[in-house]
Structure 1
């Protein structure tokens, strides 16, 4: 059925069954090259409204495109092959919010390999014992195997959050203060994510309204970051 007109003056329609609004002849459908540019812009600290202004695509099309793209992002971290031996990890967590600051989300549990700088463990969920276990389970088998064996094989450095000491092997885990310098890499990566992902800013208007897109955007950046290390 007819449903008013768009900002450009075209007749707008609304589906009676699903409620979707559309025009019969869209003014502009982005081509593959434009989509590649949008994919790159999604990795920078720019809001969806900013991408609309920069590329000229319609806000509705961009939202549908982002929803579909982030839903397909792999939720498993990809890392290069590692041999058993001395491996050192730094782990940390960070918070953000979805919808409003009242909906605080501790959604990032990260582990970084200090030698390769790869993100080798990711868990997005609650800040509790389940979150620490999720991070441990997300580590590739070689890291978990080394941590359980030779005391010289691996070290796991974290802050003093109690859940880490409950889940991580006692002989390999060491809780340290921030001024020790033993968690510098992961803390720097946390800062990188806040600088590159607009959704993670503490005082921004480009925060996520949908949790699934929030999670997808984080995974999308992590996959890009790991891939860039091998370039």
Structure 2
């Protein structure tokens, strides 16, 4: 006896055929239309929630598909849509004008192949731990400018940024808002530690990984997805 998959009622009648010729049914109790043994699997909200958590761990998409029992094709479509809609601006707590001391650093990555290098520019507030600026792009002045443009206005106006000696910073950050320092000073240790966290948690950034991004849009989306989670977890 066929039962409704939604309300489990057996008050069922035949309801024509679907596109592939399978017999359709209608539940007269709740109105649900369905077929027996559907070939298209319906992914539950609980499964999507698990996938969302796994996307923030160092697990490739193929591994996630195997772990939760979904097809790689469905998972790729799900991830593509999620990353496309991720906000590309850091969500940070409101700051009053005053002394702000962020640290900047860069993280090398690649998209599609190891010859296509993409630099991840990051700025982290030393006091709150928040990632306040992100730009993903070229290694030159345009990349540094993208990082500065991504900052909330209060950081552009009041912060004194500590960076390494990359020349691109000098050409973009005003001298009164910039301090170039060596690693031995410890003035950029917080952002360097975050870079390590990012590599450990986002599989496409792991050195010598086979899970590298095929599309720049997904590369950017995956990084932003983790950063939003990281900032939110700071409380």
Task: Specify the TM-score bucket, using the shorter chain as the normaliser.
Answer: 0.7 to 0.9
- Which of residues 180, 199, 219 is equivalent to 1:175? 180
Instruction: Map Cα deviations across residues 15-34 of structure 1 (whole Å, 9 max, x no partner).
Output: xxxxxxxxx94342210011
1:211 matched residue in structure 2: 216
RMSD: 1.4
1:224 matched residue in structure 2: 229
- Which of residues 121, 136, 139 is equivalent to 1:124? 136
Q: Aligned partners of 2:211 and 2:171: how far apart in 1?
A: 36
1:188 aligns with 2:193: yes
1:162 matched residue in structure 2: 167
- 1:66 Cα offset (Å): 0.6
1:45 aligns with 2:45: no
1:8 matched residue in structure 2: none
Q: Secondary structure at the match of 1:190?
A: helix
2:106 matched residue in structure 1: 93
1:200 matched residue in structure 2: 205
Q: Secondary structure at the match of 2:52?
A: helix
Instruction: Map Cα deviations across residues 59-102 of structure 1 (whole Å, 9 max, x no partner).
Output: 11111101111111011111001011111010011111111111
Higher relative contact order (CA 8 A, sep 6+): 1
Q: Aligned partners of 1:78 and 1:203: how far apart in 2?
A: 31
- 1:172 Cα offset (Å): 2.6
Q: Aligned partners of 1:135 and 1:206: how far apart in 2?
A: 26
Q: TM-score normalized by structure 1?
A: 0.84
1:7 matched residue in structure 2: none
Q: Aligned partners of 1:100 and 1:179: how far apart in 2?
A: 33
Structure showing greater Rg: 2
Any unmatched runs of 5+ in structure 1?
Answer: 1-12, 14-23, 147-153
Q: Aligned partners of 1:145 and 1:102: how far apart in 2?
A: 37
Q: Secondary structure at the match of 1:87?
A: coil
1:29 matched residue in structure 2: 42
Instruction: Map Cα deviations across residues 1-48 of structure 1 (whole Å, 9 max, x no partner).
Output: xxxxxxxxxxxx9xxxxxxxxxx9434221001100000000000001
Paired residues of 2:57 and 2:201 also in contact (CA < 8 A): yes
* Aligned residue-pair number: 200
